[in-house]
C-alpha cells in the first residue's frame, strides 16, 4: 500500500515540483493550499510570486490537475493570526525584530498542518523547502541537513523541528538546485515554471512592517527619544517599531556623522544610537532552544552559528545557560545581533539547533 503524503502547495515552482517528485517516487500525494489571510479584501492582493493570493491558489490547483493529484484549500486563518500575525505585532511593539517565517514553520507547517494531515490518514507531510532529512543509525536520531546548494538552503527557518516531525516530513528538493527544479517544471509543462520567487513576508504589503503594525495593532505607537549610550538625548524618533538593530538609513536625524541603531529600550521608549563599532558584539543569549542531534548540551561545544537568514555561519562556542537558554560566544565580533531574530547552529552541513536571540553580550 502506498504511503500517503500531504504537501503544502503555495502556487510557486518549488512546491509544485516537490509534489510531482513525490508522485514519481510512488507516494499517494494530496495537494493542499493553506488559506491564511484575515480579511477578504487582503485575499485580492496580487503579489507576483506571492503564496497567499487568489491567483496562487489557482496556480496550485492547475498544477495539481496537471500532475494528477487531488487538491484542497484548507482554512488556517485563526491559527495563523494567533501564532504568526499576533506574534509579529507583539514583537515589534516590544522593540524586537521577529522572523514570522520561523513561527509559521513551527506552528503552522510543522504544527497545525501536520495535525490535519494525520486526521486524514497521511503518513507524512511535505513542503518545497530546500533542506534534507536523514536518519543517523549511530545516533539513532533524525538529522536536519543543509540542501546541496547553499544559495537556496532553508534550514535556518526549520531548526525547531522535533524528532517526531523529522520522521514524518519529506523535503524532496534538498538534493536539487533551483535551476534543476525550474528545468523539471518546464519539461513536464507546469505553468509556474518561470514564476518569480516571493521575497517578502506574505502578509505585509510593500515590505512596510511598521505600517502593518500600526494598522493591525490597537496600541498607540508613541514618539520617543533617540539617546546615546550615556543617556543623552539626541533627538526625537517616530516610535520604536520603525527601527531595528544596525539600521543607519531612515533615522530622520542628522548628527554630523553616520550613526546606527545599537539598542532599543521599550521600557523607556528610547532608541540608542552609536557609531559603527558599537554595532558589533562578541556574543548573545538565546532562549526557546531546540537541539536536533541530541536533547541538550552539558559541556561547551564548537559550532558555526548564523544570526540571521542571510548571514554566513561564523565560528563560535555554545554554553549552557539555565534551563532553556544558551550563551554563544563568537570567535570574531558580529554585526547587529538582533533580539527577536533566531540564531541557528551548524556542524558542517548538520543543523545542531537554534533559539531566539534575547540579547547581545
Q: Is 14 annotated as a binding residue?
A: yes
CA distance 203 to 256: 38
Selected catalytic residue, list 51, 52, 104, 122? 104
CATH of the domain at 117: 3.40.50.620
The conformational region for residue 136 under phi > 0 = left, psi -120 to 50 = alpha, else beta, is beta
- Do 89 and 227 fall within a single domain? no
Q: Looking at the domain assignment, is residue 217 inside a domain?
A: no
* Strand 169-170 versus strand 124-126 pairing type: parallel
Confidence grade of residue 41 (pLDDT, cut at 50, 70, 90): very low
Selected catalytic residue, list 51, 52, 101, 202? 202
- Do 11 and 118 fall within a single domain? yes
- Do 184 and 55 fall within a single domain? yes
What pLDDT, on the 0 to 100 scale, is given for residue 322? 84
Q: Is 8 annotated as a binding residue?
A: yes
User: Is residue 101 annotated as a catalytic residue, yes or no?
Assistant: no
Q: Is 174 annotated as a binding residue?
A: no
Q: Is 296 annotated as a binding residue?
A: no
Q: Is 11 annotated as a binding residue?
A: yes
pLDDT above 50 (res 333): yes
Q: Is 74 annotated as a binding residue?
A: no
Q: Is 10 annotated as a binding residue?
A: yes
- Do 181 and 320 fall within a single domain? no
Q: For Cα atoms 86, 92, 96, give the angle at the middle one, nearest 5 degrees.
A: 120
CATH of the domain at 338: 2.40.30.10
Q: Looking at the domain assignment, is residue 198 inside a domain?
A: no
- Do 228 and 96 fall within a single domain? no
pLDDT, average across residues 19-40: 88
3-state secondary structure at position 274? strand
pLDDT, average across residues 113-142: 96
- Its pTM stands at 0.92
pLDDT, average across residues 139-152: 94
Confidence grade of residue 46 (pLDDT, cut at 50, 70, 90): very low
Residues 6+ apart with CB under 8 A from 99: 157, 309, 340, 341, 342
What pLDDT, on the 0 to 100 scale, is given for residue 45? 43
pLDDT above 80 (res 251): yes
| pLDDT digits 0-9 by tens, 159-210 | 999 999 999 999 999 999 999 999 999 999 998 988 887 766 778 877 788 8
Q: Is 34 annotated as a binding residue?
A: yes
Domain count, the chain: 3
pLDDT above 70 (res 110): yes
User: Is residue 104 annotated as a catalytic residue, yes or no?
Assistant: yes
User: Whose CA is closest to 124, among 208, 35, 28, 210?
Assistant: 28
CA distance 57 to 40: 14
Q: Looking at the domain assignment, is residue 197 inside a domain?
A: no
Amino acid at each position: 500500500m502506498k504511503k500517503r503524503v500531504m504537501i503544502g502547495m503555495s502556487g510557486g515552482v518549488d512546491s509544485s515540483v516537490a509534489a510531482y517528485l513525490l508522485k514519481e517516487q510512488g507516494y499517494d500525494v494530496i495537494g493542499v493550499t493553506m488559506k491564511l489571510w484575515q480579511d477578504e479584501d487582503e485575499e485580492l492582493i496580487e503579489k507576483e510570486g506571492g503564496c497567499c493570493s487568489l491567483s496562487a491558489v489557482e496556480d496550485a490547483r492547475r498544477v495539481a490537475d496537471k500532475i494528477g493529484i487531488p487538491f484542497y484549500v484548507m482554512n488556517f486563518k485563526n491559527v495563523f493570526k494567533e501564532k504568526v500575525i499576533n506574534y509579529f505585532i507583539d514583537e515589534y511593539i516590544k522593540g524586537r525584530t521577529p522572523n514570522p517565517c520561523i513561527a509559521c514553520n513551527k506552528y503552522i507547517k510543522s504544527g497545525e498542518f501536520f495535525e490535519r494531515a494525520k486526521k486524514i490518514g497521511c503518513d507524512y507531510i511535505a513542503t518545497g523547502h530546500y533542506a534534507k532529512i536523514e536518519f543517523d543509525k549511530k545516533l539513532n536520531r533524525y538529522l536536519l541537513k543543509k540542501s546541496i546548494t547553499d544559495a537556496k538552503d532553508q534550514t535556518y527557518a526549520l531548526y525547531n523541528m522535533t524528532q517526531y516531525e523529522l520522521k514524518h516530513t519529506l523535503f524532496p528538493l534538498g538534493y536539487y538546485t533551483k535551476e534543476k527544479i525550474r528545468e523539471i517544471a518546464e519539461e513536464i509543462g507546469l505553468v509556474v515554471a518561470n514564476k518569480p520567487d516571493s521575497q517578502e513576508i506574505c502578509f505585509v504589503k510593500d515590505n512596510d512592517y511598521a505600517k502593518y503594525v500600526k494598522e493591525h495593532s490597537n496600541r498607540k505607537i508613541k514618539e520617543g527619544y533617540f539617546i546615546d549610550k550615556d543617556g543623552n538625548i539626541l533627538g526625537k524618533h517616530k516610535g520604536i517599531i520603525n527601527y531595528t538593530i544596525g539600521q543607519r538609513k531612515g533615522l530622520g536625524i542628522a548628527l554630523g556623522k553616520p550613526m546606527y541603531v545599537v539598542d532599543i529600550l521599550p521600557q523607556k521608549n528610547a532608541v540608542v544610537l552609536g557609531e559603527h563599532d558599537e554595532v558589533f558584539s562578541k556574543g548573545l543569549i538565546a532562549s526557546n532552544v531546540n537541539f536536533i542531534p541530541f536533547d541538550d548540551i552539558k559541556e561547551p561545544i564548537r559550532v558555526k552559528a548564523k544570526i540571521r537568514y542571510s548571514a554566513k555561519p561564523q565560528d563560535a562556542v555554545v554554553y549552557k545557560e539555565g534551563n532553556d537558554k544558551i550563551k554563544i560566544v563568537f570567535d570574531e565580533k558580529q554585526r547587529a545581533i538582533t533580539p527577536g531574530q533566531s540564531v541557528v547552529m551548524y556542524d558542517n552541513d548538520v543543523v545542531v539547533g537554534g533559539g531566539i536571540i534575547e540579547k547581545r553580550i
